[in-house]
């Protein structure tokens, strides 16, 4: 999008705030929180000294310029109020903590966009705790491992986004591993257009993806998976318990997909979260596909007006290095 993005002001968010929290409440200031690429996340500083958080799903807040999300694609653009409320209800129903939903509005009565107001979880992110407060982080990691075990124990009748599957829908494709293979092959093509080092080995990368996929044995078990569970997507409550955010992508899928991302993002802290009984063949396929997606995705994003291109370029560079090293180890 070439137009200048307008971030929302206290006046813009006052009608939504009053609908959510009652007519006396007025935001005296709002802070747009960093990190969101698909929705606007605003901390509402209220006139009584309390805070809440508003989520706003509008084109002005979405840096991906993607096509409208297709609910039948498990990995389609995870954005929208319906995906959020379905994920919130599913997580809350099994006792996995996420910021409490205070108000949801799909009518556009208070803003020209879908919006929600949730509790402000004020203990900072797990990412910050891992850097600054090892004791708090260690406790939170143990509780996060417990939450992952709860998610792993949930069974879905099919793979796909919770909002779709819980309403009886079915996803495109025949299996999780086939969807990951197709996505990995697409990532190779998208990255090859933007990065010469991928273009130089595009055939080898595609061949390796197909070889890894051929080794995966069929399986019909699907559990709940967050999909992007890095330490930046875990907030801590004041008593140090983890609360999951950016939950719109919640889906029924293979636990291996979650764990490849956890291992990538938690690094040396991943051992606490490790689960037995993961399929090594799925892990190998999913690891390569995820690295390739984390090359093509960031490189595509920075073609637009994303405000922090260097961070995205760094993510792409790191994952390109990992993908090429996986290619070298098998060749």
Q: Is residue 308 part of a domain?
A: yes
Specify whether 144 is located in the same domain as 261.
yes
Residue 211 shares a structural domain with residue 108: no
Does 72 lie in the same domain as 55? Answer: yes
pLDDT, tens only, 8-48: 999 999 999 999 999 999 999 999 997 667 899 999 999 99
Is residue 3 a part of any domain in this protein? Answer: no
One domain for residues 174 and 72: no
Residue that terminates a domain, selected from 119, 143, 159: 119
Chain segment 80-114, per-residue pLDDT in tens: 999 999 999 999 999 999 999 999 999 999 999 99
Q: Are both 207 and 310 inside the same structural domain? A: yes
* pLDDT reported for residue 61: 85
Q: Determine, yes or no, domain membership for 285.
A: yes
* Residues 112 and 158 grouped into a single domain: no
Q: What rounded mean pLDDT belongs to the chain?
A: 94
Q: CATH number of the domain that 77 lies in?
A: 3.30.200
Residue where a domain stops, chosen among 119, 151, 172:
119
- pLDDT, tens only, 229-258: 999 999 999 999 999 999 999 999 999 999
DSSP character string of 16-71: HHHHHH-TT--EEEEEEPTT-SSSEEEEEEETTS-EEEEEEE-GGG-TT-PPPP-T
Residue 146 and residue 273 in one domain: yes
Q: Could you list the residue range(s) of the whole structural domain that residue 249 is in?
A: 126-330
**191 and 256 belong to one structural domain:** yes
The residues, ordered by sequence, that sit 6+ positions from 191 with a Cβ below 8 Å of its Cβ are 198, 292, 295, 296, 299, 320
d(CA 227, CA 262): 9
133 in a domain, yes or no? yes
Q: How far apart are CA 25 and CA 50, in angstroms?
A: 10
Specify whether 135 is located in the same domain as 83. no
Same-domain check for residues 200 and 86: no
Which pLDDT score is estimated for 331?
A: 65
Of the chain, the end-to-end C-alpha distance in Å amounts to 41
Q: Which residues pair with 178 in a beta bridge?
A: none
Residue 1 predicted with pLDDT over 60 = no
Residues 90 and 68 in one domain: yes
Among the candidates 119, 148, 168, a domain finishes at 119
Indicate which CATH number applies to the domain containing 208.
3.90.1200.10
Asked, for residue 109, whether it belongs to a domain, the answer is yes
Please tell me whether residues 164 and 97 are part of one structural domain.
no
Question: In this structure, is residue 4 part of a structural domain?
Answer: no
Domain count, the chain: 2
| pLDDT score recorded for residue 35 | 64
Number of H helices, E strands in the chain: 11, 10
Please give the Cα distance from 153 to 205 (Å, whole number).
34
Coil, strand or helix: which one is 223? strand
pLDDT at residue 64, as a whole number: 67
CA distance 91 to 148: 11
Question: Does 76 map to a domain?
Answer: yes
pTM, 2 dp = 0.94
Q: Is 171 a member of any domain?
A: yes
């Amino acid at each position: 999008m070439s137009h200048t993005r307008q971030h929302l002001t206290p006046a813009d968010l006052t009608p939504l705030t009053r609908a959510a929290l009652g007519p006396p409440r007025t935001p005296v200031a709002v802070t747009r929180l960093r990190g969101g690429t698909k929705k606007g996340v605003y901390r509402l500083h209220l006139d009584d000294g309390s805070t809440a958080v508003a989520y706003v799903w509008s084109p002005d807040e979405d840096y991906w310029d993607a096509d409208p999300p297709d609910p039948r694609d498990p990995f389609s653009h995870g954005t929208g109020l319906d995906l959020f409320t379905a994920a919130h209800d599913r997580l809350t129903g099994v006792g996995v903590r996420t910021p409490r939903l205070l108000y949801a509005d799909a009518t556009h009565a208070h803003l020209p966009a879908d919006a929600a107001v949730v509790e402000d979880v004020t203990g900072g992110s797990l990412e910050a705790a891992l850097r600054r407060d090892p004791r708090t982080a260690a406790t939170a990691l143990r509780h996060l491992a417990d939450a992952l075990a709860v998610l792993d124990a949930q069974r879905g009748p099919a793979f796909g986004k919770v909002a779709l599957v819980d309403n009886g829908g079915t996803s495109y494709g025949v299996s999780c591993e086939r969807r990951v293979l197709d996505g990995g092959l697409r990532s190779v093509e998208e990255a090859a257009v933007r990065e010469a080092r991928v273009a130089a080995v595009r055939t080898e990368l595609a061949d390796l993806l197909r070889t890894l996929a051929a080794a995966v044995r069929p399986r019909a078990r699907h559990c709940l998976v967050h999909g992007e569970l890095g330490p930046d997507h875990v907030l801590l409550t004041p008593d140090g318990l983890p609360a999951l955010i950016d939950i719109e992508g919640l889906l029924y899928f293979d636990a291996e997909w979650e764990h490849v991302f956890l291992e990538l993002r938690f690094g040396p802290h991943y051992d606490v979260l490790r689960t037995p009984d993961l399929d090594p063949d799925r892990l190998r396929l999913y690891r390569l596909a995820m690295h390739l997606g984390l090359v093509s995705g960031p490189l595509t994003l920075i073609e637009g007006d994303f405000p922090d291109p260097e961070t995205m370029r760094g993510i792409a560079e790191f994952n390109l290095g990992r993908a090429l090293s996986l290619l070298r180890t098998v060749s």
